[in-house]
Structures are given as structure tokens and as C-alpha cells.
Amino acid sequence: MQGITSELHTGRAKKRSLWLDIGIRVIKNKAAMVGFVILAVLILLALFADVIADYDTVVIQQDLANMNQGPSLEHILGTDEFGRDIFARIIHGGRISLAVGLVSVCFSLVVGGILGALAGYYGGRFDNIIMRCMDIFLAIPSILLAMAIVTALGSSLLNLMIAVGISNIPSYARIVRASVLTIKDQEFIEAARAIGGNDFRIIMRHILPNTLAPVIVQATLGVAGAILSTASLSFIGLGIQPPAPEWGAMLSNGRTYLRSAWHVATFPGIFIMVTILSLNLLGDGLRDALDPKLKQ
């Protein structure tokens, strides 16, 4: 009933109830809510990281006498190879992972989205050229790209974000392009053009908002992917510099102590997995909620 009455109002009201619909559907999905809650906890921990554990004194301060201690009352997840508290480092590492995830996805999304929208909208040769370029990018191993960027610009947090971001541009370009292709032939676009809207306005106000659904899903999963990529790059030694507590780097460093102090490698791995899991749950939930075919 609500949907029908709102149709009679202005476009704005209709949009709001649509989003409300989607929101309700997500909340009803138990799995997605589990993911959301876990994610919320992780984000909170990351935001309040400094309150929980001071960076200088706890996270990077070495205490060689206490290296590789197992979990205890003082250090709930134990200490690493330099005697630093693992729990504190994981919390601060969460900041890095989430930051890289979000920023790199935004970067890929914006650049890829624009390219995909332009390609889909204008079509023809332009589309062909852009998509071939995307193919070329896809064919280049992301490690090579990351390595190039890191060696050329140095291995800082920002450059890591750029490296991860660049390698994901093609997937967003593809998705947006596909959406644009399905939408652009619809009647309301013709109508907008008939009224005299210029291309830019049409793309921004009509086409892009309708591509949001698949993009949101991809973005959620993309953050998970970006976190994994960051950890992977750190694992092979191309990531952030010590003493930064990045999860992948902690895993890599703990590799050597697998036999005597397995907790050093295990706990960061668990956190990586849980973060990715919750993002996947949320992404799945969003996908189900946004799927028009599931409208009952």
C-alpha cells in the first residue's frame, strides 16, 4: 500500500520509500545482520584504537625479553616476536585494513564507474577502445602493477591504496557499463533527452543512480577483496613498512615461528577471515535485498 500511494507524490518521496524497503529487507536477513554487527564492532574498535591501546607505547614499543609469549591475562592474544601485544596491534591493524579497503574501493569505483558509464553511454568505437584497455589491464598480473607502483613511488599507505585501487578499476568499469547498457535504451532516458537534457545531466541524474544496486554489492565485496589484496602484498613483502601493524605483514612475520609460537600467525589470520566473512555476509544480504526479482 505504501508503495502505491507514494507513486502519486513527487519522485523524491518514491525514492525514499524504495530505500526504506531495501533497508527493511536487509534487516530481516539474519545472516546479513550478523555480518553487519561484526563489521560494526570491528569499525568501532578501529575508530577507538587509540583509546584501547596507545600507539607509541603499546603497539610499536619493543620488549625483547617477552617475545613470543602465548595468550595470558596481561596480553590476551599473546605477544609477537618483538614482545609487542598482539591484540593491540590487531586493533590498530584493523584501522589500516579498513582504511585501505574503503579508500581503494572508492578510487576504483569512481574511476572505473566513470569509464564504464562513458563507454556504455556513448558506445561504438569509444566503448570498444575503453573495454580493450580494461582487458589489457586485467591481463597484467596485479602483483606486477603493485610492485611497479611501490618501487616507483615508495611503499607508503597511500601508494598501497593506489596500487590496490588501480588493479580493480576494470571490474567496476564492466559492471557500470553493463548496467548503463541495459538502462540507456529505456523510455525514460529518451524522454529526458526529448526534454532537452544534456548528456552529462542525463548520465549523472538518471543513469548512474540506477546502476547503484550492483555497484553497491560489488563495492562491499570489493572492500573484502581489497583487504585481502593488501594482506597478500604485505605477505610477499611489498606492503607497508614496519613497525606498522598490518594484518598480512603480521601473518608473514609469524610464519617463521609457526612451530614454537603459532599464535603470532594464527590470530591476525582469524581477524582477516572474520572481516572478510562479515563483508561477504553483508554483501550477500544487500544483493538479495536489491534483487528486483525477489520482490514479493
Partner 1 sequence: MYKYIIKRLALLLPVLIGVSFIVFTIMYFTPGDPAQIILGENATEEALANLREEMGLNDSFFVQYSRFIINAVQGDFGRSYQSNRVVFDEIFSRFPATLQLAGIGVLLSVLIGIPVGVISATKQYSFFDNTTMVFALIGVSMPNFWQGLMLIMLFSVWLGILPSGGYGDWTYFILPAITLGTSSAGSIARMTRSSMLEVIRQDYIRTARAKGVLEKNVVYKHALKNALIPIITVVGLQFGYLLGGAVLTETVFSWPGIGRLLVDSIKQKDTPMVQGLVVFIAVTFSIVNLCIDILYSYVDPRIKSQYK
Partner 2 sequence: MKTTRFISIALALALSASLFTGCSNSSSSSGSSTGSQGIKEEIVIAQNSDAKSLDLQASNDGGSLNVNAQIYDTLVVKNADGTFSPHLAKSWEQVSDLVWQFKLEEGVKFHNGEELKASDVKFTFERGLTSTISYMLDFIDSVDVVDEYTFNLNLKFPYAPILSNLSYTSTGILNEKAVTEAGEDYGQNPIGTGAYMFSNWKAGDSIELVAFEDYFKGAAPTKKLKYRSIPENTSRSIALETGEVDIAYDIDPVDKETIRSNDQLVLIEAPSLQVDYVGFNMQKEPFTDVRVRQAINYAIDREGIISAVLLGGGEVATTPISPKVTMSNPDIVGYPRDVEKAKELLKEAGYENGFQTTIWTNDNSVRTRIAQIVQANLKEIGIDVAIETLEWSSYLDRTSNGEHDMFILGWTATTGDPDGAMYVLFHGSSSATAGNKFFYSNDEVSELLDLGRAETDDAKRQEYYYKAQELVVEDAPLAALYYANDCAGISAKVDGFVLSPSKSHKLYGVTCAI
Residue with cell 610477499: 236
In the region spanning residues 146 to 165, those forming contacts with partner 1, defined by CB under 8 A, are 147-148, 151-152
In the region spanning residues 227 to 266, those forming contacts with partner 1, defined by CB under 8 A, are 228, 231-232, 235-236, 251, 255, 258-259, 262, 265-266
Residues in touch with partner 2 (CB under 8 A): 60-62, 64, 67, 81-82, 147, 151, 154-155, 237-238, 241-243, 253, 255-260
Looking at the Cβ atoms of 25 and 84, the one nearer to partner 2 is 84
Q: Are 42 and 27 in contact (CB under 8 A)?
A: no
Nearest distance from C-beta of residue 272 to partner 1, angstroms: 5
Residue with cell 594482506: 231
Q: Does 181 bind partner 1 (CB under 8 A)?
A: no
- Residue 64: contacted member of partner 2, partner 1, none (CB under 5 to 8 Å, by partner type): partner 2
Nearest distance from C-beta of residue 159 to partner 2, angstroms: 12
Looking at the Cβ atoms of 97 and 155, the one nearer to partner 2 is 155
CA distance 220 to 2: 29
When binding is defined by CB under 8 A, the residue of 67, 106, 114, 133 that contacts partner 1 is 133
Each as own residue / partner, the long-range contacts of residues 256-260 (CB below 8 Å, 24 or more positions apart, any chain) are 256/81, 257/68, 257/81, 260/68
Q: Is the sign of the CA dihedral 281, 283, 289, 292 positive or negative? A: negative
Phi, psi of 291 (to 5 degrees): -75, 110
Residue with cell 505504501: 2
Nearest distance from C-beta of residue 154 to partner 2, angstroms: 7
DSSP three-state, residue 79 = strand
Nearest distance from C-beta of residue 280 to partner 1, angstroms: 6
CA distance 296 to 227: 35
The most distant pair of C-alpha atoms in the chain lies apart, rounded to whole Å, by 76
Nearest distance from C-beta of residue 195 to partner 1, angstroms: 37
Q: Are 22 and 287 in contact (CB under 8 A)?
A: no
Phi, psi of 85 (to 5 degrees): -70, 125
* Candidates 62-70, 87-95, 172-180, 273-281; binding stretch for partner 1 (CB under 8 A): 273-281
- Residue 251: contacted member of partner 1, partner 2, none (CB under 5 to 8 Å, by partner type): partner 1
- What residue spans of 154-262 are helical by DSSP H? 157-184, 187-195, 199-201, 208-235, 247-254
Looking at the Cβ atoms of 21 and 284, the one nearer to partner 1 is 284
Q: Which helix (H) or strand (E) holds 66?
A: none
Looking at the Cβ atoms of 143 and 216, the one nearer to partner 1 is 143
Q: How many residues at the interface with partner 1, by CB under 8 A?
A: 35
Which residues bind to partner 1, rule: CB under 8 A? Answer: 132-133, 135-136, 139-141, 143-145, 147-148, 151-152, 224, 228, 231-232, 235-236, 251, 255, 258-259, 262, 265-266, 269, 272-273, 276-277, 280-281, 284
